[in-house]
């Protein structure tokens, strides 16, 4: 089984592809988070985790999930386990944090990979989506990286292959990442320009944590339920670019995941 968490679709593409190629069932963490988070392994089943990197750290929701996850007979059967993260540029020590937490809560992981994908975070002045050229290059690179990872997972490799840790890993993760978690994981700056909003309800539909109230014919209202990941799925999927995050998104672009095309 593969547990995944995705905001704008990058990680969902990775998880769905791995699920098909490996023949493993796929479980959306956001859908099961409010359950008892207990699962039973089937015969010869492996355990995988796929998630994006937010602020050089694993998403808080993913860490909360791993602390509650209980897989029956995990320690006794010791199934093959892995984690794959998607990253816009660099991940810092994010996978170390996830691996440590997973081990502590009974889900030891020996195999880890990363995949670079287009940037989606637009919540700070110096951060924006990639240019179309960079976006296309990253998606092409990601397609080949995913194919490589898939074959290595089929071979049950036990390896840590993280290509995008970047420089200043400790500073980015331990200090800037802490600031991100403490100050930027909030939906309070979100608002909508009522003059542009067509009340399609798409922002509420795509929110992975059900944090937006509003269907067809209604203006969106953020619930302030403390589940917001600031993944910006609502912002990126708005067909009229009507959603704002304070002044941080002024003049910035949008990104919607599309499957990388097959080249002849």
- Measured between alpha carbons, how far is 234 from 206 in angstroms, rounded to an integer? 6
**260 is written with which tokens?**
């990388």
**196 is written with which tokens?**
């542009």
pLDDT digits (tens, 9 = 90+) for 13-22: 999 999 999 9
- Per-residue confidence band for 260, with pLDDT thresholds at 50, 70 and 90: confident
Handedness of CA 129, 133, 134, 139 (dihedral sign): positive
Largest CA distance in the chain: 59
| 117 and 145 Cβ atoms separated by less than 8 Å | no
Asked if the model's pLDDT at residue 239 lies above 50, the reply is yes
Set out the domains of the chain in order of their start, with CATH numbers. Answer: 2-179 (3.40.50), 186-255 (3.30.70.20)
The DSSP symbol for 148 reads H
| Residue 182 CB neighbour total at 10 angstroms | 9
pLDDT digits (tens, 9 = 90+) for 128-161: 999 999 999 999 999 999 999 999 999 999 999 9
The rounded mean pLDDT for the chain is 93
Q: Which residue, 174, 173, 149, is CA-closest to 161?
A: 149
Task: Collapse the DSSP code of 2 into the 3-class scheme (helix H, G, I; strand E, B; otherwise coil) and give the result.
Answer: strand
**247 is written with which tokens?**
């002044």
Determine the pLDDT at residue 263. Answer: 56
Determine the pLDDT at residue 264. Answer: 46
């Amino acid at each position: 089984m593969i547990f995944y968490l995705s905001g704008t679709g990058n990680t969902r593409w990775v998880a769905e592809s791995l699920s098909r190629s490996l023949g493993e069932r796929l479980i959306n963490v956001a859908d099961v988070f409010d359950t008892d988070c207990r699962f039973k392994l089937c015969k010869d089943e492996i355990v995988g985790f796929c998630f994006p990197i937010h602020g050089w750290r694993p998403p808080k929701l993913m860490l909360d999930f791993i602390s509650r996850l209980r897989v029956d007979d995990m320690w006794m059967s010791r199934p093959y386990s892995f984690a794959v993260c998607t990253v816009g540029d660099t991940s810092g020590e994010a996978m170390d944090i996830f691996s440590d937490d997973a081990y502590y809560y009974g889900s030891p992981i020996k195999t880890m990979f990363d995949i670079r994908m287009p940037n989606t975070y637009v919540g700070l002045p110096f951060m924006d989506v990639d240019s179309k050229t960079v976006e296309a290059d990253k998606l092409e690179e990601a397609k080949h990286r995913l194919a490589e990872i898939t074959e290595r997972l089929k071979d049950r490799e036990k390896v840590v292959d993280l290509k995008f840790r970047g420089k200043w890993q400790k500073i980015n993760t331990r200090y800037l990442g802490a600031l991100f978690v403490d100050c930027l994981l909030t939906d309070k700056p979100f608002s909508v320009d009522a003059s542009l909003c067509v009340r399609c309800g798409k922002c509420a539909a795509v929110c992975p944590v059900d944090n937006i109230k509003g269907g067809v014919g209604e203006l969106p209202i953020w619930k302030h339920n403390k589940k917001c990941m600031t993944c910006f799925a609502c912002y990126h999927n708005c067909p009229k670019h009507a959603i704002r995050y304070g002044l941080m998104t002024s003049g910035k672009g949008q990104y919607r995941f599309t499957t990388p095309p097959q080249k002849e």
